Amino acid sequence: MGNKKKETADSGRADKKTIGLTVKKSENISEWYTQVVIKSEMADYSPVSGCMVLKPYSYEIWENIQRVLDAEFKATGHKNAYFPLLIPESLLMKEKEHIEGFSPEVAWVTEAGNHKLNERLAIRPTSETIIYDSYSRWVRSWRDLPLLINQWCSVVRWEFKYPRPFLRTREFLWQEGHTVHASKEEAEEEVVKMLHIYKNFVEEYLAVPVFEGRKTESEKFAGAEYTLTIESLMPDGKALQMGTSHHLGQNFSKPFNIQFLDRDEKKRYAWQTSWGVSTRMIGGMILVHGDDKGLVLPPRIAPVQAVIIPILFKGAEGDILKYSNELYDALKEKGVRVLLDDSDYTAGWKFHEWELKGVPLRVEAGPRDIKEGKAVIVRRDTGERISVGKKALAGRVVSLLGEIQSAMLERARKRVNEHMIKVDNLNDFKDAIKRGMMVKAYCSLSSDCEEKIKEETGATPRLIPLSEYGKKRDEPCVICGKKPTTLVYFARAY
């Protein structure tokens, strides 16, 4: 059993000499982020510019995300399917607003072997068009509805902005749900339901607080009637879109001829939704929780929740390893994702490595612990050291994991709340954005006002709170001073 655990602990360690970070998060968050991602073995660069390699550690996090969300989707009646990566140009062009929104980012396949293709094929930037071509054949009657399908896949969007692992890459992993409904009201219920699933997941598993809201017309998904979003504020004062849910209305059912025979024997166009989250969530989690030692992973999503590190002394190695294996078995029985690092690295080296990797709890066992029948637990989030009896260890670890999860969310929520401010004039708006704040302000939402805000502050409207949408306030616009207005959250964004 020990050899198997050692093999897991040793993975990726070959020829690795320096693992510590060389820059503080508070001094240069961009460089800090890059170092954390690379040195913690979350990702690596690839020969294709803007594309990253997800290493096993981050992919296991993505698998945990998939596992939880997939169960949520299936519990609400959705099923998984898979649709082609390549989309004929003629299909992509069917919905005008949609293609106009994506055309700058589309990568095209024009040749196969030595032959030019008769029609260009787009590498999937999103799947509405290829999926709705199938739906036009699958939907015939009201009995076929609702059609609730999700797919897990990758997409390619040929971004020209500065690439950053997880946050902005040309290829990324995601899920995209695509549903068809008999009525507008059913589609609207679906859009809200899926947004709430996303919000609960991001807060309860990633411990990242988010705001729910509706995108402005200028920021909505290309081709949607409207877009709902969850957004979080990162430590550098930029907002990160963590997930979106779109009400597509009949904007795709009409060009794709998705019709059904209703109960009254009349043909009607269907109502549709689409919604998705991606590996971008992992980047947000890193930014929100990481510190100057590296990652700090929320226990509910961490690949390893506790690592046992034997403090080996010459002549006592056998007893210490036996004791450590007993601790391992006790934690395993409690369902803890535990790893025993019995490699031949020094204990100090292993402490630093597992701190860099963000493992929530470290369990130390040495000769004194054996003698006293105890072990020492160290919290990654606070550094607190706790001495616990061997018999009580497993129960204490389980309770600590829950405490850490809650504490991480509360700390993140406190920071976000401290960086929210309401303003009523442009000077205060500019000052707040410079200080890395998310700004609440009343705005007319005219294109001129939105453009002026962007030009003078770099900020964009991130969302209209769900409770405020549709309400017209008798407050002057922060830009033009005109009334009526809507309460909007603004920030610079990734």
pLDDT digits (tens, 9 = 90+) for 40-54: 999 999 999 999 999
Classify residue 24: in a domain, yes or no.
no
The pLDDT tens digits for 196-209 are 999 999 999 999 99
**199 and 316 fall within a common domain:** no
Tell whether the model's pLDDT for residue 111 goes beyond 90.
yes
Boundary of a domain, candidates 246, 270, 289:
289
**Residues 232, 202 contacting (CB under 8 angstroms):** yes
Tell whether the model's pLDDT for residue 347 goes beyond 80.
yes
pLDDT average, residue stretch 445-453: 93
Classify residue 22: in a domain, yes or no.
no
Tell whether the model's pLDDT for residue 100 goes beyond 90.
no
Would strands 147-156 and 79-80 be described as parallel, antiparallel, or unpaired?
Answer: parallel
Would strands 486-493 and 238-249 be described as parallel, antiparallel, or unpaired?
Answer: parallel
- What's the one-letter identity of residue 32? W
pLDDT at residue number 106: 93
Nearest to 128 by CA among 81, 179, 171: 179
pLDDT average, residue stretch 136-152: 98
**237 and 365 fall within a common domain:** no
**71 and 107 fall within a common domain:** yes
Tell whether the model's pLDDT for residue 12 goes beyond 60.
no
Percent of the chain with pLDDT over 70: 96
Tell whether the model's pLDDT for residue 4 goes beyond 60.
no
Tell whether the model's pLDDT for residue 361 goes beyond 80.
yes
Boundary of a domain, candidates 239, 265, 289:
289
Tell whether the model's pLDDT for residue 249 goes beyond 60.
yes
Tell whether the model's pLDDT for residue 35 goes beyond 90.
yes
Tell whether the model's pLDDT for residue 324 goes beyond 80.
yes
The pLDDT tens digits for 213-241 are 999 999 999 899 999 999 999 999 999 99
The pLDDT tens digits for 253-299 are 999 999 999 999 999 999 999 999 999 999 999 999 999 999 999 99
d(CA 305, CA 339): 8
Tell whether the model's pLDDT for residue 11 goes beyond 80.
no
What is the CATH classification number for the domain harbouring 470? 3.30.110.30
**316 and 216 fall within a common domain:** no
**153 and 182 fall within a common domain:** yes
**Residues 406, 381 contacting (CB under 8 angstroms):** no
**Structural domain count of the chain:** 3
Tell whether the model's pLDDT for residue 150 goes beyond 70.
yes
- Confidence band, pLDDT 50/70/90 cuts, at residue 161: confident
Tell whether the model's pLDDT for residue 8 goes beyond 50.
no
pTM for the full model?
A: 0.94
Classify residue 20: in a domain, yes or no.
no
How deeply is 254 buried, as exposed, middle or buried, from its count of CB atoms within 10 A (0-12, 13-18, 19+)?
A: middle
How high is the mean pLDDT of the chain?
94
Classify residue 340: in a domain, yes or no.
yes
**251 and 343 fall within a common domain:** no
The pLDDT tens digits for 415-439 are 999 999 999 999 999 999 999 999 9
**247 and 340 fall within a common domain:** no
pLDDT average, residue stretch 75-91: 96
**247 and 324 fall within a common domain:** no
Tell whether the model's pLDDT for residue 7 goes beyond 60.
no
pLDDT at residue number 366: 94
The pLDDT tens digits for 367-415 are 999 999 999 999 999 999 999 999 999 999 999 999 999 999 999 999 9
Tell whether the model's pLDDT for residue 98 goes beyond 80.
no
Classify residue 19: in a domain, yes or no.
no
Q: Which of 18-27, 281-290, 345-354 has the lowest mean pLDDT?
A: 18-27
**93 and 60 fall within a common domain:** yes
Domain housing 479: 420-493
- Confidence band, pLDDT 50/70/90 cuts, at residue 2: very low
**215 and 333 fall within a common domain:** no
The pLDDT tens digits for 329-341 are 999 999 999 999 9
Range 46-72 burial, b when 16+ CB lie within 10 A, else e? eeeebbbebbebbbbbbebbeebbeee
Nearest to 66 by CA among 173, 149, 204, 147: 173
- Confidence band, pLDDT 50/70/90 cuts, at residue 59: very high
